[in-house]
Chains A and B, each alone.
Chain A
């Protein structure tokens, strides 16, 4: 079972920041938070991951609360091409760990 809960869907205006929340109240100390997205039946695409510090890369920022029980993915300037299903996944460092995908959040970016 997925260890995360996400809103079913969200809308965002083009050019604005998209903030996608995720709750993971039972996350363990050795588990990372990963974000992937899937654009219309294409293969899922890695976005970012983090353990406890906030992370930023060229695609997005990841904000993890101090108690690590929730996080927010931020797309700073959403474009129409960011319309996708966004998956928040919690996974451990153990060798062979797998990614368990939940239902994700459908993000619709509108012009």
Chain B
């Protein structure tokens, strides 16, 4: 089944404790991205990747890192999480170019205390 998976689905952590949210897709998609969703602010793109070893900032990259060492994986790294990073996070992937359907993962709900 074609899908985007994220882990963990729920995470409660404390300020400053490094964490990684994994994202994996099985559709051989070139393009992958991370979004965060907050009430009243909608979905905002954090980082995206056009292909292996090619990443770029989205609209709200501060406090986040990503890597793309393999085509299928695109982890989101929070080196020193802060309470303002409490949010619902979505990973997405699609074939490069347009028009193409973008597939989203199920989401990771992160709480930083």
- Chain A residues proximal to chain B, CB less than 8 Å: 32, 34, 36, 41-46, 49, 51, 91-104
Contacts and interface: CB of A to CB of B under 8 A. Distances in A.
Most buried by B among A34, A41, A99, A100: A99
A41 to B, nearest CB: 6
Contacts of B43: 44, 101
B106 A42 contact: yes
B33 A43 contact: no
A6 to B, nearest CB: 12
Contacts of B97: 93, 95
Interface string B35-56: 1000000111100101000001
9 contacts: A41-B88, A42-B107, A43-B92, A43-B104, A92-B98, A93-B98, A98-B48, A101-B35, A101-B44
A34 B104 CA distance: 15
Contacts of A100: 45
B32 to A, nearest CB: 12
B90 A94 contact: no
B98 A94 contact: yes
A100 B43 CA distance: 8
A41 B48 contact: no
Interface in B55-113: 56, 58, 88, 90, 92, 96-99, 101-107, 109
B102 A95 contact: no
A46 to B, nearest CB: 4
A53 to B, nearest CB: 13
Contact of B58 (A46, A91, A98): A98
A43 B107 contact: yes
A34 B92 CA distance: 15
Nearest to B96: A95
